[in-house]
Protein backbone atom coordinates (compact mmCIF):
# COMPACT_ATOMS: atom_id res chain seq x y z
CA UNK A 1 0.00 0.00 0.00
CA UNK A 2 2.98 2.27 0.54
CA UNK A 3 3.95 2.10 -3.15
CA UNK A 4 0.47 3.23 -4.17
CA UNK A 5 0.72 6.23 -1.82
CA UNK A 6 4.13 7.16 -3.21
CA UNK A 7 2.77 6.93 -6.74
CA UNK A 8 -0.16 9.17 -5.82
CA UNK A 9 2.18 11.75 -4.31
CA UNK A 10 4.35 11.80 -7.46
CA UNK A 11 1.29 12.15 -9.69
CA UNK A 12 0.06 15.02 -7.52
CA UNK A 13 3.46 16.76 -7.68
CA UNK A 14 3.62 16.40 -11.47
CA UNK A 15 0.06 17.70 -11.77
CA UNK A 16 0.81 20.74 -9.59
CA UNK A 17 4.02 21.57 -11.49
CA UNK A 18 2.12 21.37 -14.78
CA UNK A 19 -0.73 23.46 -13.41
CA UNK A 20 1.61 26.19 -12.13
CA UNK A 21 3.62 26.08 -15.36
CA UNK A 22 0.47 26.55 -17.41
CA UNK A 23 -0.46 29.72 -15.54
CA UNK A 24 3.08 31.11 -15.74
CA UNK A 25 3.10 30.60 -19.52
CA UNK A 26 -0.40 32.10 -19.78
CA UNK A 27 0.68 35.18 -17.80
CA UNK A 28 3.75 35.66 -20.02
CA UNK A 29 1.60 35.38 -23.13
CA UNK A 30 -0.85 38.00 -21.83
CA UNK A 31 1.98 40.42 -21.04
CA UNK A 32 3.51 39.93 -24.50
CA UNK A 33 0.10 40.38 -26.15
CA UNK A 34 -0.47 43.64 -24.27
CA UNK A 35 2.97 44.88 -25.38
CA UNK A 36 2.30 43.87 -28.99
CA UNK A 37 -1.06 45.63 -29.07
CA UNK A 38 0.46 48.73 -27.45
CA UNK A 39 3.24 48.89 -30.06
CA UNK A 40 0.74 48.31 -32.86
CA UNK A 41 -1.52 51.13 -31.67
CA UNK A 42 1.06 53.69 -30.61
CA UNK A 43 4.14 52.69 -32.60
CA UNK A 44 7.69 52.49 -31.41
CA UNK A 45 8.98 55.79 -30.02
CA UNK A 46 11.81 57.40 -31.94
CA UNK A 47 15.33 57.68 -30.51
CA UNK A 48 14.79 61.36 -29.70
CA UNK A 49 11.79 60.53 -27.49
CA UNK A 50 13.52 57.77 -25.55
CA UNK A 51 15.60 59.09 -22.65
CA UNK A 52 19.22 57.97 -22.65
CA UNK A 53 19.13 56.71 -26.22
CA UNK A 54 20.81 58.59 -29.02
CA UNK A 55 20.53 58.05 -32.73
CA UNK A 56 23.80 56.67 -34.04
CA UNK A 57 25.41 57.52 -37.32
CA UNK A 58 24.62 54.80 -39.78
CA UNK A 59 26.56 53.65 -42.79
CA UNK A 60 23.80 51.47 -44.14
CA UNK A 61 20.39 51.80 -45.68
CA UNK A 62 17.54 53.11 -43.57
CA UNK A 63 14.20 51.33 -43.89
CA UNK A 64 11.59 53.59 -45.54
CA UNK A 65 8.82 52.24 -43.28
CA UNK A 66 8.15 54.98 -40.65
CA UNK A 67 7.39 52.53 -37.84
CA UNK A 68 10.49 50.43 -38.53
CA UNK A 69 13.44 52.73 -39.24
CA UNK A 70 15.91 49.83 -39.04
CA UNK A 71 19.46 50.48 -40.26
CA UNK A 72 20.30 47.69 -42.71
CA UNK A 73 23.56 46.69 -44.35
CA UNK A 74 24.70 48.94 -47.21
CA UNK A 75 24.11 46.22 -49.80
CA UNK A 76 20.73 45.03 -48.46
CA UNK A 77 17.74 44.89 -50.79
CA UNK A 78 15.11 44.23 -48.09
CA UNK A 79 14.78 45.37 -44.50
CA UNK A 80 16.06 42.77 -42.04
CA UNK A 81 13.37 43.66 -39.48
CA UNK A 82 10.15 44.14 -41.48
CA UNK A 83 10.95 42.85 -44.99
CA UNK A 84 10.11 46.12 -46.76
CA UNK A 85 11.93 46.56 -50.12
CA UNK A 86 14.64 49.18 -49.76
CA UNK A 87 14.58 50.39 -53.35
CA UNK A 88 17.06 50.30 -56.21
CA UNK A 89 20.76 50.26 -55.40
CA UNK A 90 23.01 51.88 -57.96
CA UNK A 91 26.45 50.26 -58.12
CA UNK A 92 28.14 53.31 -59.61
CA UNK A 93 30.83 55.04 -57.58
CA UNK A 94 31.81 58.71 -57.69
CA UNK A 95 33.89 58.20 -60.84
CA UNK A 96 31.13 56.72 -62.97
Q: Is a pLDDT exceeding 70 seen at residue 14?
A: yes
- As a whole number of angstroms, the distance between CA 1 and CA 7 comes to 10
- 61 pairs with which residues across the strands? 72
The answer to whether residues 63 and 31 belong to one domain is no
The answer to whether residues 73 and 38 belong to one domain is no
3-class SS of residue 33:
helix
Total tally of structural domains belonging to the chain:
2
Q: Is a pLDDT exceeding 50 seen at residue 54?
A: no
Predicted confidence at residue 88, as pLDDT, reads 65
Q: CA angle 6-10-12, nearest 5°?
A: 115
Domain that holds residue 9: 1-45
Mean pLDDT of the chain: 79
- 62 pairs with which residues across the strands? 71
Q: Is residue 25 part of a domain?
A: yes
Amino acid sequence: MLALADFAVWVLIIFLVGFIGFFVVAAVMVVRLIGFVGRALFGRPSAEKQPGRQRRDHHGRLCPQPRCGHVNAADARYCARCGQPLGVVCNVDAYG
